[in-house]
């Protein structure tokens, strides 16, 4: 059976690529600290020696649209082209091509349906920055096959938070029941408090630092029940109008498991959002790892 080598959750700030590659007067003052945190975070994946990446993200109205919007979708294709025109335009993100892992995708689809998740599938998926940002930060050589899993955190009506946790738990069980000797890392990206297109956008900090503090604590300590007790589809509007992306962090808490303390926790308070990085090793911290919580 496959081994779950690492569970990784992070934000997916699309400005990282530009900030980290900028030089001279174009390089923002926070770039060096951000790069240092990302390089430490990247090492947590490198040390897990993964063969395959299951990548949880959310299409931002790039390919998926309101005429036919899936709640949860698995990409099953031999290759995935990546990044769209308007991401290149706004964030300078490069076009990319990633290999797919069709056998694991087929397993997730069959087993997921049998576990009562009505998973949509796509045989021709162009992935966006929710998945390419963690490739850029965690695996810039982009050499591993992926299985993209898209969730709808964007176009109401949305699934309930508990459904995201349940899907995370199921993904873990399904990865561990995959008949393979591969080492699988599950990587998911979401948001802490975030406002986009509203009056609280692009402030000095994230729109709700108190929510961010609680959210980081829930994730770092694996406090799924405490998180579910306070978070609802309705409450997630208050920390910022794009905070429903936090449900992808809740999905990753489901993958990591109730009470699972993260082995690596780091944050960076940027000018309009708090960046956050978490890594769990379900089978123990790899030897020689310098990670610390």
Partner 1 sequence: MSKYLLDKFLFTVDRDPELTERYREDPAGTVTWWEQEMANTMLNCIPAEKTTWLAFTDDERRALAEHDHVALFQMGAHPFLTLTLFIAMFERDHGPMEYQRAYGRAMEHISMPYPDIAT
- Segment interacting with partner 1, rule: CB under 8 A, options 124-132, 152-160, 167-175, 275-283: 152-160
If the CB atoms of residues 73 and 138 are measured against partner 1, the closer one turns out to be 73
By CB under 8 A, tell whether 124 contacts partner 1.
Answer: no
| Three-state DSSP class for residue 4 | strand
If the CB atoms of residues 241 and 279 are measured against partner 1, the closer one turns out to be 241
| Three-state DSSP class for residue 120 | strand
If the CB atoms of residues 197 and 284 are measured against partner 1, the closer one turns out to be 197
Q: How far apart are CA 251 and CA 148, in angstroms?
A: 14
By CB under 8 A, tell whether 197 contacts partner 1.
Answer: yes
If the CB atoms of residues 140 and 203 are measured against partner 1, the closer one turns out to be 203
Q: Which of 49, 45, 48, 44 is nearest to 291 (CA)?
A: 44
| Interface characters, 79-98, with partner 1 (x: CB under 8 A) | -----xxx--xx--------
Q: How far apart are CA 264 and CA 216, in angstroms?
A: 12
85, 91 Cβ separation under 8 angstroms: no
**Which residue of 96, 155, 228, 293 would you call a contact of partner 1, by CB under 8 A?**
155
Q: How far apart are CA 270 and CA 83, in angstroms?
A: 24
Strands, E assignment, 231-273:
264-269
- Segment interacting with partner 1, rule: CB under 8 A, options 70-78, 151-159, 212-220, 223-231: 151-159
If the CB atoms of residues 79 and 271 are measured against partner 1, the closer one turns out to be 271
CA of 90: how far to CAs of 67, 85, 94, 129, in Å? 25, 9, 11, 11
Please work out, in degrees rounded to the nearest 5, the angle formed at the alpha carbon of residue 14 by the alpha carbons of 12 and 18: 135
Alpha helices in the chain, H assignment, sequence order: 16-21, 31-46, 85-91, 102-114, 129-138, 161-176, 209-221, 224-230, 246-256
- Segment interacting with partner 1, rule: CB under 8 A, options 47-55, 178-186, 216-224, 238-246: 238-246
If the CB atoms of residues 82 and 253 are measured against partner 1, the closer one turns out to be 82
By CB under 8 A, tell whether 24 contacts partner 1.
Answer: no
264, 41 Cβ separation under 8 angstroms: yes
If the CB atoms of residues 140 and 198 are measured against partner 1, the closer one turns out to be 198
Q: How far is the CB of 130 from partner 1 (least distance, A)?
A: 12
Q: How far is the CB of 235 from partner 1 (least distance, A)?
A: 11
If the CB atoms of residues 30 and 154 are measured against partner 1, the closer one turns out to be 154
Residues from 36 through 65 that contact partner 1 (CB under 8 A): 60-62, 65
Q: How far apart are CA 212 and CA 209, in angstroms?
A: 5
Q: How far is the CB of 155 from partner 1 (least distance, A)?
A: 7
Question: Could you tell me which residues come within 8 angstroms of residue 163 by beta carbon, excluding any fewer than 6 positions away?
Answer: none
Q: How far apart are CA 100 and CA 52, in angstroms?
A: 9
By CB under 8 A, tell whether 156 contacts partner 1.
Answer: yes
- Segment interacting with partner 1, rule: CB under 8 A, options 178-186, 212-220, 222-230, 235-243: 235-243
Chain contacts with partner 1 (rule: CB under 8 A): 60-62, 65-68, 84-86, 89-90, 154-157, 195-203, 237-238, 241-242
């Amino acid at each position: 059976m496959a081994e779950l080598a690492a569970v990784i959750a992070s934000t997916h700030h699309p400005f990282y690529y530009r900030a980290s590659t900028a030089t001279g007067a174009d390089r923002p003052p926070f770039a060096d600290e951000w790069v240092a945190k990302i390089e430490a975070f990247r090492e947590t994946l490198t040390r897990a020696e993964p063969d395959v990446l299951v990548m949880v993200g959310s299409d931002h109205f790039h390919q998926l649209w309101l005429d036919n919007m899936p709640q949860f979708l698995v990409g099953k294709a031999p290759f995935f082209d990546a990044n769209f025109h308007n991401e290149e335009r706004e964030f300078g993100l490069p076009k990319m091509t990633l290999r797919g892992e069709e056998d694991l995708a087929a397993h997730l689809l069959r087993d997921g349906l049998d576990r009562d998740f009505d998973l949509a599938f796509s045989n021709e998926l162009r992935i966006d920055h929710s998945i390419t940002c963690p490739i850029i930060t965690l695996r810039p050589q982009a050499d591993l096959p992926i299985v993209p899993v898209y969730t709808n955190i964007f176009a109401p009506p949305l699934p309930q938070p508990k459904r995201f946790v349940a899907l995370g738990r199921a993904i873990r069980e399904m990865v561990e029941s995959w008949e393979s000797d591969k080492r699988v890392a599950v990587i998911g990206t979401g948001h802490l408090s975030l406002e986009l297109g509203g009056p609280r956008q692009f402030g000095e900090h994230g729109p709700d630092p108190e929510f961010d503090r609680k959210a980081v604590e829930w994730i770092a300590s694996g406090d799924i029940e405490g998180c579910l007790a306070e978070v609802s589809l309705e409450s997630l509007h208050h920390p910022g109008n794009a905070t429903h992306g936090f449900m992808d962090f809740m999905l990753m808490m489901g993958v990591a498991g109730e009470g699972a303390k993260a082995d690596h926790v780091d944050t960076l308070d940027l000018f309009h959002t708090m960046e956050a990085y978490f890594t769990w090793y379900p089978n123990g911290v790899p030897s020689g790892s310098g990670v610390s919580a």
